[in-house]
Chains A and B, each alone.
Chain A
Amino acid sequence: MENLQNNYSRRSFLKISSLSGGGMMIGFSWLANLVPGKVLAETGAAEDWVKITGFIEIRPDNQIKLFCPNPEFGTNVMTSLPMMIAEELEVDWEKVIVQQADYDTPRFKSQFTGGSMAMAMTWTPLRTAGATARMMLLQAAANEWNVPVSELKASKGMVVHSSGTKTATYGQLASAASRLPQPEKVTLKKAEEFSLIGTPQKNKVGKNIVTGDSLFTIDYKHEGMLIAMVIHPPAFGMTLRSFDATEALKMPGIKAVFDIEVYKNGYQRAAFDTRAFNKLVAVVGNSTWEVMNARKKVVAQWELTPEYKETVMGWGGIKEELVPAGLESSDDHILKMKEMQKKPAKVLRKDGDPEAAFKSAKKIIERTYSAPFLSHNPMEPISCFAHITDEKAFFAAPIQIPELMKQNIIANLGIPADKIEMTLTRMGGGFGRRAYGHYIIEAGHISKKMKAPVKLIYTREDDMTNGVYRPMYMVTYKAALDEKNNVTALHIKGGGIPEGSVHENRFPAGVFENYLAEGWETPSNITVGAFRAPGSNFIASAEQSFLDELAEIAGKDPIDYRIELLKKAKANPVGKNNEYDADRYIGVLELVKEKSQWSKTNSKIARRGVAAYFCHNSYAAHVVDVTVKNGQPVVERVVSAMDCGLVVNPEGAKNMVEGAVIDGIGNALFGGMRFDKGVPVQKNLNQYRIIRHREAPKKIEVHFVKNTINPTGLGEPPFPPVFAALANALYKATGKRFYNQPFINDIKG
């Protein structure tokens, strides 16, 4: 048993109780009947639901509804998060209803899907909510039957007296329970007591998905709803000068064409307020096709954007951000990065005396790695529904971090906080793209202007050419070797456009006596943002490819070599702030070695590579087997080993890792966004290459290190090491090292 002070629930639940007067809570949303993707059929009136804690509602007929606080974009929070509540609540998982919570962060505390944090952040709060409600239900029964709680047991949505003579459903007890004071202390189960957590459970929303139910924002419907699209400049570095909508307005079904300014002049952006273009032309009409046609008739004049500065409230506080003028091209970006690599950079960490070690080196190994901008390309193009009236502002918003939109909505749409309502529609993919909710503001402006409910839809081209890309990166790894090919110093220097990816305190920092990490950044007007394991998704590929070369030079097995370095770092860590647990790193390497039958390495058919990485609190290692047939890489098998602590839902967890493997192989081989004088070269999915069925691995096996450490996430951690495992396997298959992504360019050549 794990005892803890019920601080968490006291604050949120008591506040809610005080709203109700009598303590009995009514689950009611003014637009509940319009919310898409109502999960599983409900019968009966909304008023029948009794709320016990912010996360649980129970009806007299013993239907039990659990809320998923965090937005869903495919990481399966709709299943794994309510599982945590259900475990402690003692209910029949098959029968419970799960529902996506609306935006109400005071009630749900954390509504954040990103940074692979959902599991870790909700692990204690959601189990506490379940345990709190269970204790209140037990107490209600004890009061009713005039027996001590110790004689009662909660199981499968029922309270049973030890005599076996008295039973009551949660539904029968809910109303009384909701009026009780909540317990000061709750007792949570130990891992060995779990009966639901740790068992493979299928997606609770699976049936809605396979039948094509209305789940996504793009499916949202409302009476009188108009369709809107926006036109943005054709190139980064340009802005709207003027437009002529005469012809567009003559087109059938068109209601209005006007320009909008997304953010007010002087608005201090926050970290996730990034947007590419501030002045847009909105085209509004009755139907999507009509708007698509009319927008082609808008004649817009564009002009160059002069250099400007913006203050941004980022993670590290307020900083001034320079947005340079000019029309940038990919070839110039490469030259710029090479130039930056030659200039002095910011020292991020220094251990020992690397300069001296390099001077006295017997041999120096130096390798430079690069990767292009990437577009997120979630399958559902960007969209948002907005209905702004005098009474309130309602959004059906696909957004990873709703709470962070609040200030933006207040500042740029002039809506007070208490009038903002958001339903958190399921997102058709995110990968970081839907952390940047400028489209919510755009939809809001258009609805305000039209005084009507509006659904904003981006075409695929709008989405792909509108920025918030993964930055472009370059890094050089340089090792000083002694006569026995032992590393005496390591120097990492790298940066990116417009931000770098050197993580100075990650492995192999802490291993080598002499160590130098340096970073630089160079501004761009091409907008970037978080992309599945930001920074890590590049630096892991460079680091783990470089270690592979060092192992080869040292004549050592690549897995053994890594383990040797980790053991060294554990026994005798160099420097401070090393951000990894060597044992857990070794754990995934040993597991992947065993499960891949690594010792039978390099079979006749496939060549094999390994990589491991730690980021976002979980450890990952992959072994990739690859062949090259007719100049095309064929990934025969991937074996993955993960340590994300206790695995809440092994089914969903495996799916996440498989997806990350496929996504990693796809981006490593094919990913890349290029620019020609500010114009995105790739505009749609027939030009931007995304991995397809026949390019996916033939087989993926996923294994988890078994432990009971508090769970951490899987959305990001398995992704970064895939790139290097593939590169190292391709080396075995082709005899060539792969330094520049996308790799396909070098396989063909």
Chain B
Amino acid sequence: MAAMNLKINGKKYEVTVDPNTPLLWVLRDHLNLIGTKFGCGVGACGACTVHLNGQATRSCLLPVSAIGAMEITTIEGIVPEDGKLHPVQKAWLELDVAQCGYCQTGQIMSAISLLKSKPAPTDEEIETAMTGNLCRCGTYTRIKAAIHQAAKSATK
């Protein structure tokens, strides 16, 4: 057990956990930030995607002790205020993307990260960037359309 300071969604947290605990379980079990989902535990499905200094990262394999001063953003922190929606979330709603919905927060986190580096991604760039995020319900075509829509709305 070790005490660790984390900066998550702009707030400071201190947690006392086994330093090897993956960030995913610190978020879910200790901080009640349950929007980040558990899917595989081996970094193969993307359900646990968070941002580390703005970069999409799988939280299920990342020991909390490796984070240091890096800033963590989860789905709960992508908008500054509760109740507001990020343009990517809005696009997701406008295109009615979700079926079961379980993977979608991870998809959204990857999409936001993609749009930061490529504000107007091509189909191919979306496919490449998003291919680590599995959706068993098969909402991929809607996800792609939603990313294009979010990109368009940002340039308006």
Contacts and interface: CB of A to CB of B under 8 A. Distances in A.
A429 B28 CA distance: 20
A6 to B, nearest CB: 34
B100 A380 contact: yes
Interface in A282-308: 287-290, 293
Contact of A660 (B38, B127, B138, B141): B138
Given A212-B36, A685-B45, A692 B28 contact: no
Interface in B1-33: 1, 17-18, 21-22, 25, 28-30, 32
A554 B82 CA distance: 65
Interface in B103-155: 103-105, 108, 123, 126-128, 130-144
Contacts of A288: 25, 28-29, 38
B70 interface: no
B138 A460 contact: no
**Chain B contact residues, majority secondary structure:** loop
Interface in A198-248: 202-203, 205-207, 209-216, 218-219, 221, 227
B100 A73 contact: yes
A202 B102 contact: no
Contacts of A293: 18
Contact of A693 (B38, B102, B126): B126
B28 A210 contact: no
Contacts of B93: 202, 206-207, 210
Interface stretch (A401-409, A568-576, A651-659): A651-659
A216 B136 CA distance: 16
Q: Which of A429, A430, A661 has the most CB of B within 10 A?
A: A429
Contacts, number: 182
A interface bracket (residues with beta carbon within 8 Å of B): 35 or more
B34 A379 contact: no
B47 interface: yes
A213 B75 CA distance: 10
A727 to B, nearest CB: 18
B interface bracket (residues with beta carbon within 8 Å of A): 35 or more
B80 interface: no
**Chain A contact residues, majority secondary structure:** loop
A699 interface: yes
Interface of A: 73-76, 202-203, 205-207, 209-216, 218-219, 221, 227, 252, 287-290, 293, 377-381, 426-431, 457, 459-461, 651-652, 655-656, 658-663, 666, 684-686, 690-694, 696-700
24 contacts: A75-B99, A76-B99, A207-B85, A209-B98, A210-B85, A210-B89, A210-B105, A212-B34, A212-B75, A215-B101, A216-B102, A377-B136, A378-B102, A378-B136, A379-B47, A379-B103, A428-B100, A429-B136, A430-B100, A460-B41, A655-B99, A663-B138, A693-B144, A697-B141
Interface of B: 1, 17-18, 21-22, 25, 28-30, 32, 34-45, 47, 74-76, 85, 89, 92-94, 96, 98-105, 108, 123, 126-128, 130-144
